């Protein structure tokens, strides 16, 4: 098991972080993008609403309202790392379905660039169906859907998928990779993934229902190598095999401390890159230059489909569902019935809560960018330091806890985000170590990356 990784602030933000909380007028960079929405850390909650209705995909899940989600620590901030936690219950058996969260953006996206640095995603456990995606405001599927990070059960790689109504076929060619494409055509060199299906219409006659057009990432084929516990640990000491494919989904994704997902929506193309950790440290977060991201996993183009009209007024969604129309439908055919020895997806999800301890998102930096505009954004400040770098012994914010205990030392949304009718508050009767949901009298901590704790119990910090 690899060490507990705590990330230093992004180098691109370092000069601003040392100045406290400041308003930054963004300059147009290599791609001309400037920040329009800062959704990082405690700013996350002001941009999202909690959905608590029935699951639209008939999942075996109970989505919680905001107050209950924070009360049960299924939604929180990690103060020691400046990250957002969104998770599912892993303590209780419930025949009505597993308690979880679904948050939806309260603003619309059109053309621009979305980047979300996700250090941990819900693991690829049978029965699970996590997703980070965009959904249009018009009735589905007419309003369009872009699935950036999604999968079910024990899949081991991500697929980027578009869903629309009729007459939207992408032009991309596909690959002869026998593990990804049944068609055996030539590879489109503009992206690294493999086009599995090309018709974005959810009712396409020659595809499964609701499949859409989908590009699968290559299978991950490496794990990061971390330095010896006794060495001088820096991000530069982390190594990986040259030319390898990063894991993009599930347990291997989490072992390698995740990475950033960047999706650009334009009138003639939709493109998604995955920038694995530690390459995330090289992103210019103020004004990102997409030419530095490397080859995208997926790029959709079409002469038939007007992306500007088919994918407009999109909202961001994070949710953790279970079973339902995909994970449940493939319970037997995908091998989970045989693997678990349980005949029903719903039964497995209800009766084995401990299997879902790793069913959570941990989100670091997250921004929406557009070209032009004033690009003003308030950048966060570090905690208790005038330096952009941390020594091997410096710590900030709340006490550092094991990432294998999600929910440890979280805090709720800032006071401005708490509902006036919310009953969630700190109490003298709370158990030791319980979170406080009152505004905390401490400056915003530096962003650092957490992951699994080394089996020795010792941690790396930088």
- 462 belongs to a structural domain: no
- 435 belongs to a structural domain: no
Q: Per the structure, how many domains does the chain have?
A: 1
In the 3-class helix/strand/coil scheme, how is the chain assigned residue by residue? Answer: CCCCCCCCCCHHHHHHHCCCCEEEECCCCCCCEEEEEECCHHHCHHHEEECCCCCCCCCCEEECCHHHHHHCCCEEEECCCCEEEEECCCCCCCCCCEEECEEEECCCECCEEEEEEEEECCCCCCCEEEEEEEEECCCCCCCCEEEEEECCCCCCCCEEEEEECCCCECCCCCCCCCCCCCCCCCCCCCCCCEEEECECECCCCCCCCCCCEEEECCCCCCCCECCCCCCCCCHHHCECCCCCCCCCCHHHHHHCCCEEEEEEECCCEEEEEEEECCHHHHCCCCCCCHHHCCCCCEEEECCCCCHHHHCCCEEEEEEEEECCCCCCCCCCCCCHHHHHCCCCHHHHHHHCHHHHCCCEEEEEEEEEEEECCCCEEEECCCCCCCCCCCCCCCCCCCCCCCCCCCCCCEECCCHHHCCCCCCCCCCCCCCCCCCECCCCCCCCCCCCCCCCCCCCCCCCCC
154: domain CATH number? Answer: 2.60.120.200
- 223 belongs to a structural domain: yes
- 191 belongs to a structural domain: yes
- 26 belongs to a structural domain: yes
- Report if pTM > 0.75: yes
Residue ranges making up the domain that contains 151: 11-417
- 444 belongs to a structural domain: no
- 275 belongs to a structural domain: yes
- 89 belongs to a structural domain: yes
- In tens digits, the chain (462 residues) has pLDDT values of 343 444 433 433 433 333 332 333 333 335 799 999 999 999 999 999 999 999 999 999 999 999 999 999 999 998 888 999 999 999 999 999 999 999 999 999 999 999 999 999 999 999 999 999 999 999 999 999 999 999 999 999 999 999 999 999 998 654 434 344 434 444 557 899 999 999 999 999 999 999 999 999 999 999 988 776 566 667 777 888 787 899 999 999 999 999 999 999 999 999 999 999 999 989 999 999 999 999 999 999 998 899 999 999 999 999 999 999 999 999 999 999 999 999 999 999 999 999 999 999 999 999 999 997 654 444 443 222 222 222 222 222 222 233 333 333 344 443 333 333 332 222 322 232 323 323 333 233 233 444 433 333 333 333
């Amino acid at each position: 098991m690899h060490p507990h990784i705590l990330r230093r602030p992004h180098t691109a933000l370092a000069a601003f972080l040392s100045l406290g909380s400041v308003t930054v007028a963004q300059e147009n960079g290599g791609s001309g993008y400037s920040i329009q929405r800062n959704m990082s850390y405690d700013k996350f909650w002001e941009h999202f609403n909690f959905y608590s209705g029935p699951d639209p995909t008939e999942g075996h899940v109970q989505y919680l309202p905001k107050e209950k989600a924070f009360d049960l620590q299924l939604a929180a901030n990690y103060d020691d790392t400046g990250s957002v936690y969104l998770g599912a219950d892993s303590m209780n058996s419930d025949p009505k379905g597993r308690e979880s969260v679904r948050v939806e953006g309260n603003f619309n996206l059109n053309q621009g660039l979305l980047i979300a640095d996700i250090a941990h995603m819900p693991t690829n456990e049978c029965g699970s169906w996590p997703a980070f995606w965009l959904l249009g405001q018009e009735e589905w599927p007419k309003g369009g859907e872009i699935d950036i990070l999604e999968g079910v059960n024990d899949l081991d790689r991500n697929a980027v998928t578009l869903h629309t109504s009729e007459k939207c076929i992408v032009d991309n060619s596909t690959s002869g990779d026998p593990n990804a494409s049944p068609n055996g055509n030539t590879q489109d060199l503009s992206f690294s993934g493999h086009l599995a299906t090309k018709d974005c219409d959810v009712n396409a006659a020659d595809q499964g229902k609701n499949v859409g057009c989908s590009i699968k990432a290559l299978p991950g084929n490496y794990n990061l190598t971390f330095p010896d516990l006794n060495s001088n640990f820096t991000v530069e000491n982390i190594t990986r095999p040259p030319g390898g494919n990063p894991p993009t989904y599930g347990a291997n994704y989490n072992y390698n401390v995740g990475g950033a997902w960047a999706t650009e929506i334009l009138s003639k193309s939709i493109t998604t890159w995955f920038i694995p950790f530690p390459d995330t440290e090289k992103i210019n977060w103020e004004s990102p230059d997409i030419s530095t991201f490397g080859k995208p996993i997926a790029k959709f183009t079409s002469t038939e489909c007007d992306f500007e009209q088919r994918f407009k007024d999109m909202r961001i969604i994070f949710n953790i569902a279970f079973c339902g129309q995909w994970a449940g439908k493939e319970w037997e055919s995908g091998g989970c019935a045989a693997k678990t020895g349980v005949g029903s997806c719903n039964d497995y999800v209800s009766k084995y809560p401990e299997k879902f301890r790793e069913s959570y998102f941990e989100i670091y930096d997250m921004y929406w960018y557009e070209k032009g505009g004033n690009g003003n954004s308030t950048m966060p400040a570090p905690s208790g330091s005038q330096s952009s770098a941390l020594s091997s012994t410096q710590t900030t914010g709340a006490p550092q806890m094991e990432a294998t205990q999600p929910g440890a030392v979280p805090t709720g949304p800032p006071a401005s985000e708490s509902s006036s009718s919310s009953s969630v508050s700190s109490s003298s009767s709370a158990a030791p170590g319980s979170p406080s949901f009152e505004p905390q009298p401490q400056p915003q901590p530096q962003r650092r990356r957490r992951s699994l704790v080394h089996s020795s119990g010792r941690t790396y910090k930088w």
